[in-house]
Amino acid sequence: MQVFDKDFDGKVTLSEATQSLDAFAAMGAMGAPPEPGAGPNEVEVLVAAAKRHVPTLFELLDADGSGGLSKKELLWVGKVEKALKSGALRNLTRAVFEVADTDNDETLSAAEVAAAIAPDGVLLDQIVALVHDELPIRKDAAELRALVLKVGAALAGADISLSDGMKWVDLNGNGSIERKEVGKAYAKFKELFLKGTQTLQTMGPMLAMFGAMGGGPGGGVPRGRGGRGGGRGGSQRS
């Protein structure tokens, strides 16, 4: 909250999250200039990946639909981190694959993926139930199902087809998703997510400090900390 909540209202908006990610990228670029042809540094790569997925993740975490993430909702980031480290999320990924792989050939065809996400199909109910049991980010499975359909409709509205979505995991480009490809995609997600949380823990306090001083990337002076001429300079928010 110290890093992302720019206006100190107890909520993190999508705009604030994007602004903070830009600030992380700026901090990652500080120091010695990159060598010619070296490409983006690790922080820039992490930020770019986060910015691609932050709208969907934001929608997922915003349980009350308020347009801002509360401290309670942000706690899910830590819960996902724990599930990644314990192997629970890996096991959930395997279980979802097994539900979708109706012919048990260790490969998901386009038809199987379509059946798994079909709004009127029974497979989607099974998959949502599995996810809700492990990560109850909504009050019940029915609410989570509605969210999944909403995200799917948004992707369709953005002209992202089923085949486009499958390409994110279909590494060999054969039009289907093999179990080993899912494993590789999961491993990459785990790597990026854990690096991201580690970066937040390492760089976050410095970024929050710069923001509190009003002189750093994406900064501002918190209310009650001298930003209004000292009228309430002694108070602090926890």
C-alpha distances (whole Å) from 233 to each of 68, 77, 216, 224, 238 are 27, 32, 20, 5, 15
Percentage, residues of the chain above pLDDT 70: 82
Check residue 199 and give its pLDDT: 82
Q: At 184, is the pLDDT very low, low, confident or very high (cuts 50, 70, 90)?
A: very high
Task: Identify whether the C-beta of residue 14 lies closer than 8 Å to the C-beta of residue 6.
Answer: no
Most confident listed range (141-150, 207-216, 218-227) = 141-150
Check residue 227 and give its pLDDT: 41
Check residue 127 and give its pLDDT: 96
Least confident of 126-135, 147-156, 217-226: 217-226
If you compute the radius of gyration of the chain from its CA atoms, what whole number of angstroms results? 21
- Per the prediction, the chain carries an average pLDDT of 83
Could you tell me the residue ranges of all domains in the chain? 14-213
What average pLDDT does the segment 179-189 reach? 95
Sign of CA dihedral 148, 128, 193, 164: negative
Going by C-alpha positions, the residue among 89, 17, 75 that lies closest to residue 47 is 17
Return the beta strands (E) in the chain as ranges: 107-108, 177-178
What average pLDDT does the segment 73-93 reach? 95
